[in-house]
Amino acid sequence: MSEKIDLPPLFKGATHRMVNGGEPVKAVCWKKDGDHPKVERYPIERRSYKGLLVAGPKDKLALHFGDWIIEDAKGRYWIEPAGALSTAKYAPLGSGAGPAAVVAVLALAAAVLGLILGQPSDLPLLFGVTHLMYYSSIKGQWDGTANGVFDLDTDTIKVSAHTNTYAPNQDTHDFFDDVTNEVTGTNYTAGGATLASPTVTRSTNTVTFDAADVVWTQSGAGFSTARKFVVYKSTGVSTTSRLGSVVTADADVGNVTGDLTIAWSAGGIWTWTTT
């Protein structure tokens, strides 16, 4: 006769059990802002982390994109590094199988997703970023600065790609002629891509500017050293094309081995919130 083992009860939102002891936990892979209510995002360049997990009054844990936030039934938090969550420590709920069987199931799932979504080179590239505004674009909305006002759903708004050599200056860079080291290559047009389907919407105390994602299609003769992406209002003349913001990736990217997709945040490209 087999011995019956009573496992600790589950709690709402639990996704796994600890292999050693069976304690239920909730595991969330942090991929973007909003994945967890206690995560704070800090858009600061040259920091190794992309946010902080506020775990308690005195506890703040550094986060990278892809890290796992683990929460137990008592509301305690800890971080597991990016990558596949260890099946030697965490067993998904509903899998009565041992670690080897879980790995096999995950491998099968990955194979099926590959058939549905395509090979890795066909998928959007995901990377950590920082996103900073140029101050002249903010000031110009209220003081009547020439070419300072953005009509975001009517103006031609573009995003251009630049190498890491370009050093953005939020204080002094105001027009596109200040931006240097633009990439070149097949399927990339000088000046960048125009943002399609722009919208400006309001929800309660937040106004959001958003647009369709941008895709530079694959070419072996494309570019591979893009690191900084400038969002700006294009007038067709670099000296009057007002800068808006700059997105900096954690590593060089390009369209040589696959399509390069700029997937904007689910919360929009720019947001303004009042309280």
Q: What span, in angstroms and rounded, lies between the C-alpha atoms of 65 and 67?
A: 6
In terms of pLDDT, which residue wins out, 60 or 5?
A: 60
Tell me what pLDDT residue 49 has.
Answer: 52
Confidence at 204, pLDDT banded by 50, 70, 90: confident
pLDDT score for 107: 29
What's the length of the chain? 275
For residue 230, the model assigns a pLDDT of 96
Integer Cα distance of 76 and 24 in angstroms: 12
Question: Tell me: the pLDDT tens digits for 122-179?
Answer: 334 444 467 888 988 888 888 877 777 889 989 999 999 999 999 999 999 999 999 9
Tokens of 22: 């069976």
Radius of gyration of the chain (CA): 23
97-109 pLDDT, tens digit each? 333 222 222 222 2
Residue type, 258: G
Q: How many CB atoms within 10 Å of residue 31?
A: 13
Percent of the chain with pLDDT over 70: 75
Per-residue pLDDT tens digits for 219-270: 999 999 999 999 999 999 999 999 999 988 888 889 998 889 888 887 888 8
SS3 state of residue 113: helix
Is the per-residue pLDDT at 189 higher than 90?
yes
Beta-bridge mates of residue 78? 70
- Residues 44 and 130: beta-carbon distance below 8 Å: yes
Comparing CA positions, the residue from 208, 192, 205, 196 lying closest to residue 260 is: 192
What per-residue confidence (pLDDT) applies to 45? 41
